[in-house]
Amino acid sequence: MKSVKNIQKITKAMKMVAASKLRAVQTKAENSRGLWQPFTALLGDLPSVDVKKNVVVTISSDKGLCGGINSTSVKISKGIYKLNSGPEKETKYVILGEKAKAQLIRDSKKDIELIITELQKNPLSYTQVSVLADEILKNVEYDALRIVFNKFHSVVSFVPTVSTVLSPEIVERESESGGKLGELDSYEVEGGETKGEILQNLAEFQFSCVMFNAVLENACSEQGARMSAMDSSSRNAGDMLDRLTLTYNRTRQASITTELIEIISGASALEG
């Protein structure tokens, strides 16, 4: 009973810590949504585009006790890998977070291009994430980056999400072939930069903005899921404590009753 009480105290404390962290990161996440939305309007988000080199960027947490958000991200990443596999196609993983690393390294070690952990060791900032995005772009060759993360809706609700960032060459190809990116040619370009250079800069900036939002959304989902998990654990510990207390009281009462019967029986025997 004492150990259950101690566990309940720990889970309640962890819930309060998660709530505090959630409040700190939620405002950042909501503000960051305005960064990537203009890029989606301009360059689109085309998950169905057919390319040869895919890189799946799986975002997860470094710590556990936060429900199934990491397992969900890994399952979706594996699904994307299967969908984009083929004789002339190449798909690689970039992993952010210890939990996705632990799950993917078991059966997909040869396909992992880059692993980054301890992302939330310091408070998340755009500068920090843009450096990580630059490191990813330097270390991988890609036609499409598929960023897998959990989009935060509420403390009890998060939605697994995939954002697609295309390479400048693929954006130019899709623009020339018409479709959703066909309107790019209608914009006037000022300055001496070529269309290819502008698309290169836009793609890099788009990736860093999408990554910043994805990391913050996933951090919110992690803390929300941890709050829910710790709340459930606290309630389960309370239920267990009630059952243990009831069992203890019944056992104690039965022992007292037995002792009283023995005393009364002994006294009766002496009187007889």
The domain that holds 67 is classified in CATH as 3.40.1380.10
What does pTM read for this prediction?
0.84
Asked if residue 268 belongs to a domain, the reply is no
Number of domains observed in the structure of the chain:
1
For residues 29 and 216, the answer to whether their CB atoms sit within 8 Å is yes
Residue at token pair 């009890």: 156
Asked if residue 113 belongs to a domain, the reply is yes
Give whole-number Cα distances, 127 to 29, 93, 114, 244, 254, in Å.
Answer: 15, 23, 20, 52, 67
Spell out where the chain has E strands: 53-59, 90-96, 112-116, 144-154, 157-166
pLDDT of residue 192: 66
Asked if residue 190 belongs to a domain, the reply is yes
Q: How confident is the model at residue 76 (pLDDT cuts 50, 70, 90)?
A: very high
pLDDT of residue 178: 62
Kind of pairing, strands 157-166 and 144-154? antiparallel
pLDDT of residue 37: 78
Would the pLDDT of 61 be above 70? yes
pLDDT of residue 171: 80
pLDDT averaged over every residue in the chain: 87
Asked if residue 2 belongs to a domain, the reply is no
Q: Identify the domain containing residue 140 by its residue range.
A: 24-227
Asked if residue 45 belongs to a domain, the reply is yes
What order of strands is seen across the sheet that includes strand 144-154?
A: 112-116, 90-96, 53-59, 144-154, 157-166
Asked if residue 145 belongs to a domain, the reply is yes
Rounded mean pLDDT, 68-75:
92
Give whole-number Cα distances, 82 to 76, 94, 271, in Å.
Answer: 10, 16, 88
What would the pLDDT profile of 109-166 be if each residue is shown by its tens digit? 899 999 999 888 888 889 999 999 999 999 899 999 999 999 998 888 899 999 999 8
pLDDT of residue 48: 79
Residue bearing the bigger pLDDT, 172 or 216: 216
Asked if residue 248 belongs to a domain, the reply is no
Give whole-number Cα distances, 168 to 52, 128, 175, in Å.
Answer: 14, 24, 10
Asked if residue 44 belongs to a domain, the reply is yes
